[in-house]
């Protein structure tokens, strides 16, 4: 039908036809698949929600005299970063907490500040307090350093998120008699509310369910700047049950990478999950090149065709029981009420549909203005045929 090189030529000439994954639904309804596939070059997707497996590699630069943080410690605004790397490379994870944070000592804990918030402040250009300690060597004699850093003053700041952009997700409810505080938000007792976390019809991997149009090396919108799909994400599980190709359970994931210096605090936001911990809300937008009618047909998926499992987070989830209370569509979820076990339950979302739509529009604008070109994938993301199984951790006896 068309190649990525041909699409890029049209982008260069300002002639590419780009629509969002929301707009494409109406285009396909009115024009039909065949005609729409002839006309549309790219469909843009978006998602913006808490993604805990996120973090940033920082190279802080060498002090005089030098210090080797590897094997020592590094704290940014009081939040510990991982130092098990070369002298001044550290990795600051989104869920890291200050050593003196009370955590859930007084349950439910507040979790006001952590790694995700430091990343937001770095990307906002704010001054961040840095304390490092080391054991000292002949070549790196220094034992302690305390100073401030800013994003633009350090060498590299590479956002590298091992698992983002989940393809579908659970709807969390609470069947117990007490309020519970989870990574899916506060859940009131006896089906008091239901929380979901996907942009549904706008979500990247729900628009390319078999990973045919995107792959490793695909250039994307990441945190307001440019990023790439680096690999498939951790816990990537394409083998879940599907209906019309669409996974009915949490399935594929993406590992993504990009230069933090080009990103924006509007699209990387530190978040606090009451009683659970801290995280980072990440904005991601993936362009889907329309290389075939089949690829376009999948981008035209709408919320009433995508189903998510309802899971009890008071027992089934923590006990790793496979029990699912039912399946509901994203159209039902976004209506504000779903029915679970005969009861009407109000819904809330962790993933911002409005912001996902904004991301798809921003990416569309970049492509239309010739500021963003598509890349060929250099290797595929494993699909159902790869036979990946989702492995549990079962404890072995005798230890």
Partner 1 sequence: MQVSRRIVLHFPASLTGQPIVYRLARDYGLEFNIIKASVSPEEEGLMVLEVRGDEQGVEAGMKYLSEKGVMIEPFSQRVVLREERCIHCGLCVGLCPVGAFRMEPDTYYIRFEEERCLACGLCIKACPPRAMEVGL
Q: Is 174 in the site for partner 1 (CB under 8 A)?
A: no
Closest of 233, 232, 251 to residue 242, by C-alpha: 251
User: Is the peptide bond prior to 168 cis by the omega test (within 30 degrees of 0)?
Assistant: no
171, β-bridge pairs: 310
C-alpha 252/C-alpha 381 separation (Å) is: 9
Return left, alpha or beta for 223; rule: phi > 0 is left, psi -120 to 50 is alpha, else beta. Answer: left
**Nearer to partner 1 by C-beta: 68 or 269?**
269
Q: Is 357 in the site for partner 1 (CB under 8 A)?
A: yes
In the shown chain, the binding pattern of residues 318 to 337 toward partner 1, with x for contact by CB under 8 A and - for none, equals: ----------------x-x-
**Nearer to partner 1 by C-beta: 215 or 265?**
265
In the shown chain, the binding pattern of residues 114 to 153 toward partner 1, with x for contact by CB under 8 A and - for none, equals: ----------------------------------------
**Nearer to partner 1 by C-beta: 19 or 290?**
19
* Number of neighbours of residue 45 by Cβ within 10 angstroms: 31
**Nearer to partner 1 by C-beta: 40 or 271?**
271
Our answer to whether residue 139 is catalytic in this structure is yes
**Nearer to partner 1 by C-beta: 218 or 352?**
352
Query: Residue 102 has which token pair?
Result: 């009370």
Q: Is 270 in the site for partner 1 (CB under 8 A)?
A: yes
Q: Is 18 in the site for partner 1 (CB under 8 A)?
A: no
User: Is the peptide bond prior to 61 cis by the omega test (within 30 degrees of 0)?
Assistant: no
Specify whether the CB–CB gap between 59 and 89 falls below 8 A.
yes
Q: Which of 143, 178, 243, 369 lies at the binding interface for partner 1 (CB under 8 A)?
A: 178
**Nearer to partner 1 by C-beta: 229 or 356?**
356
Query: How many residues of this chain interact with partner 1, rule: CB under 8 A?
Result: 40
According to DSSP, the β-strands at 185-187 and 89-93 are: unpaired
Q: Is 162 in the site for partner 1 (CB under 8 A)?
A: no
216, β-bridge pairs: 379
Q: Is 380 in the site for partner 1 (CB under 8 A)?
A: no
* Number of neighbours of residue 182 by Cβ within 10 angstroms: 19
C-alpha 255/C-alpha 120 separation (Å) is: 19
C-alpha 303/C-alpha 283 separation (Å) is: 20
C-alpha 329/C-alpha 312 separation (Å) is: 17
Number of H helices, E strands in the chain: 7, 26
* Number of neighbours of residue 153 by Cβ within 10 angstroms: 10
Q: Is 273 in the site for partner 1 (CB under 8 A)?
A: yes
Which residue among the candidates 139, 344, 391, 392 is catalytic per the annotation? 139
Determine the distance from the C-alpha atom of residue 286 to the mean position of all C-alpha atoms in its chain, rounded to a whole number: 12
Specify whether the CB–CB gap between 203 and 254 falls below 8 A.
no
Q: Is 25 in the site for partner 1 (CB under 8 A)?
A: no
Q: Which of 194, 206, 220, 260 lies at the binding interface for partner 1 (CB under 8 A)?
A: 194
Q: Is 185 in the site for partner 1 (CB under 8 A)?
A: yes
In the shown chain, the binding pattern of residues 90 to 109 toward partner 1, with x for contact by CB under 8 A and - for none, equals: ------------------x-
Instruction: Point out which span in 96-104, 242-250, 265-273, 291-299 binds partner 1 (CB under 8 A).
Output: 265-273
C-alpha 101/C-alpha 109 separation (Å) is: 9
**Nearer to partner 1 by C-beta: 202 or 290?**
202
In the shown chain, the binding pattern of residues 195 to 234 toward partner 1, with x for contact by CB under 8 A and - for none, equals: x---------------------------------------
Closest of 141, 146, 144 to residue 65, by C-alpha: 141
Instruction: Point out which span in 55-63, 174-182, 204-212, 251-259 binds partner 1 (CB under 8 A).
Output: 174-182
Q: Is 177 in the site for partner 1 (CB under 8 A)?
A: yes
Q: Is 237 in the site for partner 1 (CB under 8 A)?
A: no
In the shown chain, the binding pattern of residues 45 to 84 toward partner 1, with x for contact by CB under 8 A and - for none, equals: ---xxx----------------------------------
How open is the CA angle 376-256-333, to the nearest 5 degrees? 105
Specify whether the CB–CB gap between 324 and 310 falls below 8 A.
yes
Q: Contact residues for partner 1 (CB under 8 A)?
A: 48-50, 108, 110, 112, 177-179, 185-186, 188-190, 192-195, 269-274, 279, 281, 334, 336, 345-355, 357
Which sequence positions are flagged as catalytic?
139
């Amino acid at each position: 039908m068309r190649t990525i090189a041909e699409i890029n030529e049209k982008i260069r000439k300002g002639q590419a036809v780009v629509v969002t994954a929301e707009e494409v639904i109406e285009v396909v309804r009115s024009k039909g698949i065949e005609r729409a596939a002839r006309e549309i070059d790219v469909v843009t997707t978006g998602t913006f929600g808490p993604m805990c497996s996120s973090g940033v590699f920082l190279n802080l630069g060498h002090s005089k005299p030098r210090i080797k943080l590897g094997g020592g410690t590094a704290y940014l605004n009081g939040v510990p970063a991982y130092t098990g790397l070369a002298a001044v490379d550290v990795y600051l994870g989104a869920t890291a907490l200050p050593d003196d944070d009370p955590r859930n000592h007084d349950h439910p804990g507040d979790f006001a500040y952590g790694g995700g918030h430091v990343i937001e402040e770095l990307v906002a250009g704010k001054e961040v307090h840095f304390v490092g300690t080391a054991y000292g060597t002949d070549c790196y004699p220094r034992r302690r350093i305390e100073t401030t850093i800013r994003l633009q003053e350090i060498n590299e700041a590479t956002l590298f998120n091992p698992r983002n952009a989940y393809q579908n997700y659970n709807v969390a409810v609470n069947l117990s008699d007490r309020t519970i505080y989870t990574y899916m938000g506060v859940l009131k007792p006896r089906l008091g509310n239901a929380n979901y976390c996907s942009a549904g019809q706008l979500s990247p991997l729900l628009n390319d369910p078999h990973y045919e149009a995107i792959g490793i090396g695909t250039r994307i919108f990441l945190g307001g700047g440019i990023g790439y799909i680096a690999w498939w994400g951790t816990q990537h599980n394409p083998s879940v049950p599907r209906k019309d190709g669409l996974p009915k359970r949490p399935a594929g994931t993406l590992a993504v990478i990009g230069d933090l210096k080009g990103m924006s605090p509007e699209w990387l936001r530190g978040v606090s999950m009451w009683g659970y911990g801290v995280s980072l809300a990440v904005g991601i937008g993936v362009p889907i090149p329309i290389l075939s009618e089949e690829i376009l047909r999948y981008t035209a998926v709408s919320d009433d065709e995508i189903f998510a499992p309802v899971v009890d987070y008071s027992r089934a989830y923590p006990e790793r029981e496979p029990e699912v209370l039912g399946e509901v569509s994203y159209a039902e979820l976004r209506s504000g009420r779903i029915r679970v076990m005969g009861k009407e339950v109000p819904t809330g979302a962790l993933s911002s549909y409005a912001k996902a739509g904004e991301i798809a529009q921003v990416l569309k604008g970049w492509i239309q203005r010739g500021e963003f070109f598509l890349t060929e994938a250099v290797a595929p993301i494993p699909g159902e045929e790869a036979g990946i199984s989702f492995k549990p951790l079962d404890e072995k006896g005798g230890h």
